[in-house]
Structure 1
Amino acid sequence: MEERSTVRLGEVITVVNGKNQKAVENPNGRYPIYGSGGIMGRADDYLCGPDTVIIGRKGNINTPIYVTEPFWNVDTAFGLVCDQSQLLPRYLYHFCRFFDFECLNSTVTIPSLTKKNLEKVEIPLPHVNEQNNIVRLLDGIQAQIAISKQMLAKADELIQSRFVEMFGDVRDIDKTVPWHRIDEIASTRLGKMLDRKKQTGNWNRKYLGNHNVQWFKFDLSSLAEMDFAPEDQREFELRAGDILMCEGGEVGRCAIWRGQVAECYFQKALHRIRCDSQIVIPDYLVWVFKMMADAGLLVEHTHAVTIAHLPGVRLKALKVPVPSLTLQNEFAEFVTSVESLKSTTQQQLDRLNTLYASLTQRYFVL
């Protein structure tokens, strides 16, 4: 790679201030209207030409958008128009994805950028031929990242389609399939209340909180600890096959514990659901919860003042369809095969993200 010069953005771009869109707004307008978060309408006129990078002036200041057509930008978004004899727009876009604009934030409330500070940002500036080589490489990786993300999304859609194919819509499952209350097919338990005043440090153990539980997986990067005395350890232990469900927030979000951490417990914000293996298997039940949550059926069972909650009593009374174990196991085998594909795809996505980050570090660090 050739030696690069460094310039300030103000030397190679024109910053186009956004304007109020009321005078040009038209639902059937030819041009999109952009704010810092994306398209927010249509307009009859434009401020910026094609191949322009958008950076938020207020609010979302760290997520650049590349626009390939003329557009109108509102007053919360800057349009960065390149002098293309010196700076390629896609090169600028990748630089903006790399650069942390939060370091230029000029307020303590809503994140904000000023035109003056933006124009002072320094950018490595190799010859346009070298810029083009860099763009082709980074664009290629970005395209592969997009494909991997699409594959992951399609995998979940595939499982949902298989569920409907085998069992029907959870809002109208064939009445020949028996429905049971949760307390008829599983034992449930809310987690341990965290009382900081009673913490001694003598029985510190790792535990799961609401934020650790995602759909079908756990975020174990930051496990907190609190006292679990011997009697609490027996009461709040986790076993392989337990379902952990969020009691509040995104009600119903759940995952199956596989013993990822040797000794782990759970906090009050979570329900532990331990299935009766003679009636229902967790690999089927978590997808029932997912389908019911997506259909809005769990909301009917919540208690909401400001934030929705699913109390233990209401969870126990929740009725779910329970087909034969043969069908449940057939569905679980299908899920396992798709999850294997997802795991491979996720590993590929992780490698691509790491490669992209490594290359942008190489090209854009001053």
Structure 2
Amino acid sequence: MDGGGMKDDVGFNEVFFDCTKYGKKIPKENYLVTGKYPIVDQGQTIIAGYTDDPEGIFNDIPAIVFGDHTRVIKYVDKPFFLGADGVKLLKSNRSDVWYKYLFYALTAAHIPNTGYNRHFKWLKELIIPIPSLEKQQEITTILDKVTELIAMRTQQLSELNLMVKSRFIEMFGNPASNPMGWDKRPLAEYITYANNGIARRGNDKNGSIVLRLVELQSGFIDYSQPNRIILTVAEQSRYLLKHNDFLFARVNGNPSYVGRSSVFHDIGVPVYHNDHIIRVHLSEADLNGVFVSNLLNSDYGIQEMKSKIKTSAGQYTISQDGISAILVISPPLPLQNEFAAFVQQVDKSKFEIQKGLKQMEIQYNALMQQYFG
């Protein structure tokens, strides 16, 4: 291989050995929220929990942890314990490798997703390029830098989101306790029209954008890979989205997806919605869409939504009646507008950060392809 002076392509078993049996596993029910010693499991976060008991801690660091079910790969450089289920603890049997380089090499590998099965057998089939130590260090330094910048941008976005949540509470209080005594009514009193989307499926590059659940996120709509369908004139009339329509995720096998909501803003081309999404339009004389979006995506709004979800045959659903029953506070419209203006300014900053983040992610993927193929 090119992309970095590769001198050797070797099999997984020539680089790693499985030393899981040497790591002490902590049952999930024994995890502490805070503590002296970290627990690393197969979840997405680096540290899953803590323990205060040092007996059996794994000190032979650095090491790599592989999630057998999740395919998550972690580089660990501090003494740690293992989570109880589905983890593989890997050490290298070679002296001519950097562990961080191996971490990136494994991260770059394509391991097929076979659901909640074990994936270690796929990992063991990998061929790993091993360049000189000097080249490994160079590659690691470059990837560390890009990863650090991505993490910094992601943290900035998180802080801006927290800023919006804090301003909401500052201006309106906690909607659950409603300390400011705002009028609190069912959403039904503000709905001017509502309907489910088109049931027909398809994908035609010459068609119109028809939103699916995958595009409907909490508080925003993702247009990066839109689905398109050629619609009839009647369908165009019935399912066309209008500025400030609210979209709710109606049905899914995963309850955490149901009830997700976002306000729709005109993007300059017609956009429609499928039947997994409920479209609701609210009285703009009473409610600002940005205010309602933040209310519905708050902890309060999520709990209100959950209480209206029903289950049948493994599917979780929320109906138009369920959405209509959600209780919402309605502060004076000028105050809602003031909050919306603040959010708009924050969104401008988020847009610039997201643009930079996207560029860095593209650069990271290109580097991974260059170094590891």
Classify the TM-score, shorter chain: 0.7 to 0.9
Q: Take 1:238 and 1:209, find their aligned partners in 2: how far apart are those partners?
A: 13
In the TM superposition, residue 182 of structure 1 has moved relative to its aligned partner by 2.2
Could you say which residue in structure 2 is the equivalent of 1:77? 87
Asked if the contact 1:45–1:71 (Cα under 8 Å) also holds between the matched residues in 2, the reply is: no
Residue of structure 1 aligned with 2:248, choices 242, 245, 261: 245
- Aligned residue runs from structure 1 range 234-273, under 5 A: 234-248=237-251, 249=255, 250-260=257-267, 262-273=269-280
Q: Take 2:247 and 2:125, find their aligned partners in 1: how far apart are those partners?
A: 50
What CA deviation, in whole Å up to 9, does each residue of 1:109-147 have, x standing for no partner?
Answer: 714223xx7555322222212211221111111111111
**What is the TM-score with the length of structure 2 in the denominator?**
0.82
Asked if the contact 1:36–1:55 (Cα under 8 Å) also holds between the matched residues in 2, the reply is: yes
Note closer, same or farther for the CA distance 1:129–1:231 as it changes in structure 2 (3 Å cut).
closer
Q: Take 2:339 and 2:26, find their aligned partners in 1: how far apart are those partners?
A: 56
Q: Which has the larger radius of gyration?
A: 1
Residue of structure 1 aligned with 2:134, choices 90, 109, 129: 129
Q: Secondary structure at the match of 1:101?
A: coil
Note closer, same or farther for the CA distance 1:128–1:264 as it changes in structure 2 (3 Å cut).
same
Residue of structure 1 aligned with 2:163, choices 158, 163, 168: 158
Q: Take 1:108 and 1:21, find their aligned partners in 2: how far apart are those partners?
A: 26
Letter in 1 for 2:98: L
In the TM superposition, residue 169 of structure 1 has moved relative to its aligned partner by 0.2
Could you say which residue in structure 2 is the equivalent of 1:345? 353
- Aligned residue runs from structure 1 range 26-105, under 5 A: 32-37=38-43, 39=48, 42=51, 44-46=55-57, 49-56=60-67, 58-61=68-71, 63-73=72-82, 76-83=86-93, 85-102=95-112
Could you say which residue in structure 1 is the equivalent of 2:5? 3
Residue of structure 1 aligned with 2:186, choices 137, 159, 181: 181
Asked if the contact 1:19–1:75 (Cα under 8 Å) also holds between the matched residues in 2, the reply is: no
Q: Take 1:108 and 1:325, find their aligned partners in 2: how far apart are those partners?
A: 48
Identity of counterpart residues, as a percentage?
22
Could you say which residue in structure 2 is the equivalent of 1:168? 173
Matched residues, number: 354
What's the C-alpha RMSD, in Å, of the aligned pairs?
3.3
Could you say which residue in structure 2 is the equivalent of 1:323? 331
Q: Secondary structure at the match of 2:155?
A: helix
Q: Take 1:157 and 1:75, find their aligned partners in 2: how far apart are those partners?
A: 33
**What is the TM-score with the length of structure 1 in the denominator?**
0.83
Structure 1 window deviating more from structure 2 (256-265 vs 208-217): it is 256-265
Q: Take 1:101 and 1:192, find their aligned partners in 2: how far apart are those partners?
A: 36
Q: Secondary structure at the match of 1:298?
A: helix
Note closer, same or farther for the CA distance 1:333–1:128 as it changes in structure 2 (3 Å cut).
same
In the TM superposition, residue 222 of structure 1 has moved relative to its aligned partner by 4.5
Structure 1 window deviating more from structure 2 (287-296 vs 141-150): it is 287-296
Gaps of 5+ in 2: none
Asked if the contact 2:219–2:297 (Cα under 8 Å) also holds between the matched residues in 1, the reply is: no
Note closer, same or farther for the CA distance 1:324–1:34 as it changes in structure 2 (3 Å cut).
closer
What CA deviation, in whole Å up to 9, does each residue of 1:292-333 have, x standing for no partner?
Answer: 555612223333445443321232233311111210111001
Q: Does 1:309 align with 2:317?
A: yes
